[in-house]
A and B are shown apart, each in its own frame.
Chain A
Amino acid sequence: MRRNPLDLVRARPEPGFEFSFDGEPVPALPGQTVAAALWQADRLAWRRTRVGDRPRGAFCGMGSCYDCLVELDGVPNVRACLAPVLPGAEVRTQRGDGHDELR
């Protein structure tokens, strides 16, 4: 068994919880961002691009690139790498510019 990041820093995380991603339950730990929780669950993509409908996820990891935009509790264009994930959060893949319903 290889080491994992939590063991490395001797984390004793507070109890985990679930949120939903495109309707499916995903586990998370308090203190994680939406992007970190999705990476932990081996999900790397949560946006489809406007022009080519291509999958995207976190890239710069620090709020600069906006590639990780996601729909969080009904609000589009939230940076998943900055937004903390909370119990019961509803996270959805963002399609296009996140305002398709306005068309």
Chain B
Amino acid sequence: MTNSAETHELYDLAVIGAGPAGLAGAAAAAERGLRVALLDSAPQPGGQFYRQPAAAFRAARPQVLHHHWAEFRRLLTRVENAEADFLADHHVWSVVRESGAWIVRSLTGPDQRQARSLTARQILFATGAHERQLPFPGWTLPGVVGAGGAQAMLKAGLVLPGRRVVVAGSGPLLLAVASSLVKAGARVPLVAEAAGYLGYARGARTLAANPGKLVEGAQHGAVLLRHGVRLGPRTAVVAAHGTDRVEAVTLARLDATWRPLPGTERRIACDAVAVGHGLVPQLELPLELGCATERLPDGSAALVVDAAQRTTVPGVWAAGESTGIGGVQLAIVEGELAGRALAGETTAPASLLRRRTRLRAFAALMAARHAPGSGWPEWLEDATEVCRCEEVTAGQVREAVTELGAADQRTVKLLTRAGMGWCQARMCGPAVARLCGAADDGAPTRPLSTPVPLGLLAESTTAPSSQGAPR
């Protein structure tokens, strides 16, 4: 059943996403007098980074699974004191322009079947990111989970996917995940990092300018060392084995393009794998509005913003991971700058601007060092499923490309159904785009950001706009 409630509450600003960027943006804008709605699909504020156990767990020290926890508490207090309206459990599915204002439509309630809409003069997207996945044989076995997924389930549900967890993929998140897992009692025999950590040396100046990041890295390193976790640079899980759940993985050393080096394979036992190859900005809603994107060094698409965090669409702003993966501190700085500018402040504090520049340089270094290598498709067998939803194999995608002449992700989708399922290519998109020969994640356009009951679409008077790239 769908209960549509068209309310016409008018806000000065709707902030979409209550992670670090959204909280900072909402706080800064509301403190300067704007009437702010802060919407998030989760029951609690914090986003994926500050996911926390449900209140019923009565956790005395949730902060042990977190960095920058004090900053989070400060942001929450600011949002509360400034009286921004936090709307929990709101899955925003459409933002459209109507008579000079933005209509923000959400689904809420159990199973997200109740409709709620509000109107706002301006929009701040702080929609965060999801994990980039690169398929390998066996990655659909139960027990193989996203590295971010394992982290999210641990932070919120206080559970582990297994007792002996191999952490694999690429990017700084892997160290954080491995460190959480071992603190919570799992054994992590290895963190397999497809890139080499040595490459960081080329960014020595950027690293030196970001001592906070180095300290954080060193803290993870110390935890891993204490728990006997080995780091395997230039190493990947190239296959997971098992019948109904994962029982072992095959590791291989990689060359600089992530191609497995023959003869280096070895098998180790495990009962779970936490895998991820970096994060990609979540851009469905801003892309529908026609916000311009740029390609970052890791191949992800990120929103183009100006010095004040304005997107290319008037009245639409963005902060945090949606403008490029940069981590929690950058997200907070960007949110703060956006909130101030939204409230009409024309000059931003120089210290904030400097901090943003420094953190963005660090983000660019990470993106370049951990960009997926062009040789990763060699991990795939023809029978490896690439699209998890529609169960489309690498062989089918390759056939569409080589035999049927598909030159892009969209044509592959039409020919094979890859990317047509429930997740709308969130999981397979970056892989399929690369199998088509692209050196990037492809265009993450989706007409709706969350599944919507048909009855509700029929009821809505304004159809979602379609100004994004063709799909």
Interface residues, chain A, with chain B CB atoms under 8 Å away: 2-14, 29-33, 35-37, 39-40, 44-45, 49-52, 54-67, 69, 75, 78, 81, 83-84
Q: Are A51 and B391 in contact (CB under 8 A)?
A: yes
Q: Are A52 and B142 in contact (CB under 8 A)?
A: no
Q: Are B56 and A30 in contact (CB under 8 A)?
A: yes
Q: Choose among A37, A44, A62 the residue that contacts B142 (Cβ–Cβ < 8 A).
A: A44
Task: Provide the bound-state CA to CA distance between A8 and B130, in Å.
Answer: 26
Task: Provide the bound-state CA to CA distance between A18 and B60, in Å.
Answer: 25
Task: Provide the bound-state CA to CA distance between A3 and B145, in Å.
Answer: 22
What are 12 inter-chain pairs, A to B, with CB distance below 8 A? A6-B158, A11-B158, A33-B156, A50-B391, A60-B426, A60-B427, A61-B148, A62-B48, A62-B152, A64-B427, A81-B149, A81-B153
Chain B residues positioned under 8 Å from A66 (CB to CB):
389, 421-423
Task: Provide the bound-state CA to CA distance between A5 and B184, in Å.
Answer: 5
Task: Provide the bound-state CA to CA distance between A5 and B154, in Å.
Answer: 7
Q: Are B59 and A11 in contact (CB under 8 A)?
A: yes
Q: Are B143 and A44 in contact (CB under 8 A)?
A: yes
Chain A residues positioned under 8 Å from B60 (CB to CB):
9-12
Chain A residues positioned under 8 Å from B228 (CB to CB):
none
Q: Which residue of B lies closest to A3 (CB)?
A: B185
Q: Choose among A3, A44, A65 the residue that contacts B245 (Cβ–Cβ < 8 A).
A: A44
Q: Which residue of B lies closest to A40 (CB)?
A: B159
Which of the candidate stretches B61-69, B216-224, B248-256, B302-310 sits at the interface with the other chain?
A: B61-69
Q: Are A64 and B423 in contact (CB under 8 A)?
A: yes
Q: Are B185 and A5 in contact (CB under 8 A)?
A: yes
Which residues B410-464 have CB closer than 8 A to chain A?
Answer: 421-423, 426-427
Q: Are A60 and B421 in contact (CB under 8 A)?
A: no
Q: Choose among A10, A32, A39 the residue that contacts B59 (Cβ–Cβ < 8 A).
A: A10
Task: Provide the bound-state CA to CA distance between A76 and B41, in Å.
Answer: 20
Q: Which residue of A lies closest to B47 (CB)?
A: A62
Task: Provide the bound-state CA to CA distance between A14 and B390, in Å.
Answer: 40
Nearest Cβ on chain A to B186's Cβ, whole angstroms: 8
Chain B residues positioned under 8 Å from A30 (CB to CB):
54, 56-57
Chain B residues positioned under 8 Å from A54 (CB to CB):
140, 391
Which residues B163-194 have CB closer than 8 A to chain A?
Answer: 183-185
Nearest Cβ on chain A to B67's Cβ, whole angstroms: 15
Q: Are B57 and A2 in contact (CB under 8 A)?
A: no
Chain A residues positioned under 8 Å from B53 (CB to CB):
9, 11, 31
Task: Provide the bound-state CA to CA distance between A4 and B389, in Å.
Answer: 33
Chain B residues positioned under 8 Å from A62 (CB to CB):
48, 130, 148-149, 152
Q: Choose among B57, B143, B244 the residue that contacts A31 (Cβ–Cβ < 8 A).
A: B57
B340 on interface, CB distance cutoff 8 Å = no
Q: Choose among A32, A44, A55 the residue that contacts B54 (Cβ–Cβ < 8 A).
A: A32
Which residues B45-80 have CB closer than 8 A to chain A?
Answer: 48, 53-62, 64-65
B111 on interface, CB distance cutoff 8 Å = yes
Closest 8 CB pairs of A and B: A36-B157, A31-B54, A61-B149, A31-B56, A66-B422, A10-B60, A30-B56, A44-B142
Q: Are A55 and B142 in contact (CB under 8 A)?
A: yes
Q: Which residue of A lies closest to B417 (CB)?
A: A51
B22 on interface, CB distance cutoff 8 Å = no
Chain B residues positioned under 8 Å from A64 (CB to CB):
130, 423, 426-427
Q: Are B59 and A4 in contact (CB under 8 A)?
A: no
Q: Are B64 and A8 in contact (CB under 8 A)?
A: yes
Chain A residues positioned under 8 Å from B140 (CB to CB):
54, 56
Q: Are A6 and B145 in contact (CB under 8 A)?
A: no
Task: Provide the bound-state CA to CA distance between A54 and B242, in Å.
Answer: 12
Task: Provide the bound-state CA to CA distance between A40 and B57, in Å.
Answer: 14
Chain B residues positioned under 8 Å from A63 (CB to CB):
41
> For A36, A40, A52, which residue has the most chain B Cβ atoms within 10 angstroms?
A36
Chain B residues positioned under 8 Å from A61 (CB to CB):
145-146, 148-153
Q: Which residue of A lies closest to B152 (CB)?
A: A61
Given contacts A31-B54, A50-B391, A62-B130, list 14 more A-B pairs with CB under 8 A: A5-B159, A6-B158, A8-B185, A30-B57, A39-B153, A44-B143, A44-B161, A45-B244, A61-B153, A62-B152, A64-B130, A65-B422, A83-B111, A84-B54
Q: Are B158 and A5 in contact (CB under 8 A)?
A: yes
Q: Which residue of A lies closest to B58 (CB)?
A: A12
Task: Provide the bound-state CA to CA distance between A2 and B163, in Å.
Answer: 10
Known contacts: A3-B185, A4-B185, A61-B152. The answer to whether A36 contacts B58 by CB under 8 A is no
Known contacts: A3-B185, A64-B426, A81-B153. The answer to whether A59 contacts B54 by CB under 8 A is no
Known contacts: A6-B57, A31-B53, A56-B142. The answer to whether A67 contacts B157 by CB under 8 A is no
Known contacts: A57-B142, A60-B149. The answer to whether A36 contacts B159 by CB under 8 A is yes
Chain A residues positioned under 8 Å from B152 (CB to CB):
60-62, 81
Nearest Cβ on chain A to B241's Cβ, whole angstroms: 15
B160 on interface, CB distance cutoff 8 Å = yes
Which residues B264-302 have CB closer than 8 A to chain A?
Answer: none
Chain B residues positioned under 8 Å from A59 (CB to CB):
144-146, 149, 388, 427
Known contacts: A11-B60, A12-B60, A81-B153. The answer to whether A5 contacts B145 by CB under 8 A is no
Nearest Cβ on chain B to A102's Cβ, whole angstroms: 15
